[in-house]
Chain A
């Protein structure tokens, strides 16, 4: 089948950027979306044009490296998956698709469809962990954890840090990403001692990075390739309020918003 792509081309962070139209005449139904871009890039190289830069690594939906917007929807039209898991059989002959990078002030464009998501790492460094030294752990079965809690923590832990939630949000909020980690650790006994500082630290850092506020629109959860639910945000908000009340002085010291 024939697919028409309008792809955002931008040489670097300082370039203005523009859409460029490409036509691929012979797309196979079994191809993945990224394999179609591979084919396009081979054709561009043959013609002596620079290939389209896009991130991908595992190509099985787990590393979180890939992601761009297809016709306004992060990771494209099929729910619950990343763009590397999207296959061309979901499209039809003659489809016109507009590809653009994640758009958010906190995710500057590096080139074409590649953005800089290092803000997520800096948020994680402000509390997305349990402070336990290597070798200091008690026996793994010393704490019994109800299966339901473990399952719910796993639902939250499934986040791959791709950034689709930010790209979909009209406020460019990182609330779903941040709250998934706060919720995972908040649901487990190991996460309790640092529950307050974690909420304050991570949410505060997200604000410093220039992500917007959450107004519970829910676009994030709708496009999340791991189907992380809005419950995460409710949980994190609760943790944040609780933490601020309990640690008012710490919040006043900076970082909480």
Chain B
């Protein structure tokens, strides 16, 4: 199938303006006749639901958490990028656009990324107007800091809780609409299917997680903003509940899944401490502004860090990437940490860690300044590890953090499934093969506040939507399927818990489809995933009933979908015979270990089409054409 990305014509800086000028409008009296479903209430979903409600549409918003305010955007620490150039350091829309394209290793769609950079400045205005308490200078203006992959300071922040503050801003706007009756909230509801009628997404089926009721909801269009699929690895920095069920169920109904192999491993996370580990905790990339990363020069050096003299330390990022130093992008920093540990120079238990050292900054700036900038992160580290980072260097190690892949969308953020829009981390659109720090918040809010309200209106304004109700056979069938799926889990009465399967899958993926992938490791993953999946569907034990709060049953549904997605992830990684961004194939590396792209053959987005259970996926390619930037080898040296 030919993919139409619907990129407006004209020069790149005029495309979004043209799209807005050409769009169909819905008059105020008609807006209230339309119903919109938004699944997920993070930055993208919360902002979209609030904005669409404000415009006059009837919105139903769904969240698996007990409140919209808990979506995992809340955990983002470091900041949000915007091309404000308040620091007068040469930033511009074009530079943010360029940095993002380059940061994504030239695997993102130019037009989308340009629009993202263009609306970034509006986001900051919007959030300040909502009362988001961004960090400020003594003169009362907004403060900025630097993030990886950029040579300008364009990151706005609220201590180490930027995601929380931005999400609470979107949540407050959403609750205002709830109070006004424009948005109806459905917390503790999980989407378990998308319903397609006459080729258009016309609703969803949900499971009420408190009562177990399987319910249908009809709408004129559906917006999915349900986050990424990092938890397919079991251990990640995602929240425990983050899952891919919404996007995977949509994929099974016809929405293409693009670039699943682009997964981001974040360089600065707290190393795992044991078998019982339930999740990994990120230490914000912003720490790399003032922290220096090093390992001992000598392999196997077991001395405590303070006893290793300066000339026996290897500040390897500063050594290899002198112009970006400790602020080299995430994929590169993670890979270098892995190399150091592979060389036997890792620190801490098992040698799986590197130091992130603040002693020099504390000497230079004083403890008070460091505490002001990172106090809550230092405290978080201390709580988890029992070590005080003001006194001893932090130990960090890479962990799965973000997924650049997701449902394929066109310029309007609509998937190939008509009427199904996808925003935020759930789509594939803006970050290519690697996301730069502080850009996830930017994309989530750009999609939610400034893109979806336009493009959804444009879709509804085009008309042609017939009347559908929950009595339609497609809804009845989807409800029945969902009920049968959960009943099957409950009746199986096997021997193994959901978590045991999830951990097994996670270990397999981390070892074979993680930071370094090879044809051999991917083949191994592909041979083992179906076996785990088969056993899952024969030997699973879920206790309790379906008509009550049953957390094991919730997990079973999610892990069943992860077990399918994992296979596509490995398959996508196997067919992409190049290294780019977060996708690193050991066969395709430069002599000094950097990613070796193959633009001649792989400058495309891989959009996979579901062909049924057990059937191979069909690959659709969207060629990526670069009209504005030149394809170049990505260098941070």
Contact = CB atoms under 8 A, between A and B. Distances in A.
A34 interface: yes
B78 to A, nearest CB: 13
A57 B72 contact: yes
B179 A150 contact: no
A11 B241 CA distance: 22
B140 A130 contact: no
Contacts of B68: 121
B67 A58 contact: no
Contacts of A137: 122, 125-126, 128-129
Contacts of A64: 67, 69-70
Given A51-B543, A140-B128, A144-B141, A62 B66 contact: no
A245 B291 CA distance: 52
11 contacts: A12-B548, A28-B274, A42-B497, A86-B383, A89-B386, A121-B175, A125-B176, A129-B176, A133-B54, A144-B139, A154-B161
> Among the interface residues A120, A129, A191, which one has the most CB atoms of the partner chain B within 10 A?
A129
Nearest to B541: A45
A139 interface: yes
A141 interface: yes
Interface string A183-201: 0110010110000000000
Contacts of A138: 125, 129
Contacts of A141: 84, 86, 141-142
A57 B277 contact: no
B279 interface: yes
A150 B134 CA distance: 7
B261 interface: no
A139 B85 CA distance: 12
Given A128-B175, A133-B54, A53 B549 contact: yes
Interface stretch (B29-37, B94-102, B165-173, B580-588): B165-173
A111 B500 CA distance: 24
A129 B273 contact: no
Nearest to B372: A151
Interface string A134-178: 111111110111110011011001101100000000000000000
Contacts of B386: 87, 89
Contacts of B126: 132, 134-135, 137
B278 A34 contact: yes
Given A61-B380, A128-B172, A129-B173, A191 B131 contact: yes
A78 B66 CA distance: 25
User: Chain A interface residue count: which class?
Assistant: 35 or more
Given A61-B380, A137-B125, A158-B164, 13 more contacts: A30-B273, A35-B277, A38-B278, A48-B543, A50-B543, A51-B552, A57-B241, A120-B67, A137-B129, A141-B142, A144-B139, A150-B133, A160-B164
Interface of B: 47, 50-51, 54, 65-72, 74-75, 84, 86, 122, 124-142, 158-159, 161, 163-165, 168, 171-173, 175-176, 178-179, 185, 187, 210, 239-241, 273-274, 276-279, 281-282, 379-380, 383-384, 386, 449-450, 453, 497, 499-500, 541, 543-544, 548-549, 551-552
Contacts of B185: 121
Contacts of B276: 28, 31, 35-36, 38-39
B239 A63 contact: yes
A55 interface: yes
Contacts of A110: 210, 549
B499 A59 contact: no
Contacts, number: 217
Contacts of A154: 133, 135, 158-159, 161, 165
A35 B279 CA distance: 9
A23 interface: no
Interface of A: 11-12, 28, 30-32, 34-36, 38-39, 42, 45-46, 48-51, 53, 55-65, 78, 80-81, 85-87, 89, 110-111, 114, 116-118, 120-121, 124-126, 128-141, 143-147, 150-151, 153-154, 157-158, 160-161, 184-185, 188, 190-191
A117 B74 CA distance: 18
A55 B124 CA distance: 33
A252 B477 CA distance: 52
A50 B122 CA distance: 50
A42 B187 CA distance: 27
Contacts of B132: 157
Nearest first, the 6 A-B pairs at minimum CB distance are A144-B140, A125-B179, A137-B129, A129-B172, A137-B125, A153-B133
B175 A111 contact: no
A60 B281 contact: yes
B588 to A, nearest CB: 35
